Amino acid sequence: MAKCDDNSRGGLPSRVGRNKVSDLYPLTDIVKYAPNRAGVYYLVKKVGDMYELFYIGQSKNIQSRLISHNVTWENRKRNACIVKNVKEYDTYFLFVRINKLEKRDRIEQEQIEKYKPECNMSRGLTRDYEKIEAKREEERIRKPLGVFTDADIRLLLRGDL
């Protein structure tokens, strides 16, 4: 688990590849600081003089995801670990903007494996990146390319379309 003291980022990430990780912001200031853009986000709690990373997630809209977590934390059993931490500690967030979904999935997985946040681990959220990619590729292949009439199908089968 990543920990750092008040005076440094310590074990908290400052860069992810070429992407700079944001400053640490209070969870109460989501609207003020979280972007309406895609990326990976980190939830952090303050324990005494130390900060401890307890959850990593990704979204196509970081601000909306953090707000939805905040609004629905009380009503979602699967987020019991997050609810517990938010209730018991001062909580903060950081983020890194990443547009491409495949890159967000890969980075989220790598960061979870590196930092082992308690709420990701307790929910069994470590993901096998290759399985995610294979599933996406399978869905992409099965996706229809267009609408065809019976006549179009006959032409296609003959090789005339």
> For residue range 35-69, what is the model confidence (pLDDT) as tens digits?
999 999 999 999 988 899 999 999 999 999 898 77
Residue 133 is predicted with a pLDDT of: 58
- CA dist., res. 141 & res. 72, Å (int): 35
Predicted confidence at residue 86, as pLDDT, reads: 85
CATH classification code of 3-158: 3.40.1440.10
- Tokens standing for residue 65: 């995801």
- Looking at residue 43, its pLDDT comes to 93
State pLDDT tens for residues 127-140.
555 555 566 566 55
pLDDT confidence tier of residue 12, bands split at 50, 70 and 90:
confident
First to last CA, the chain: 58
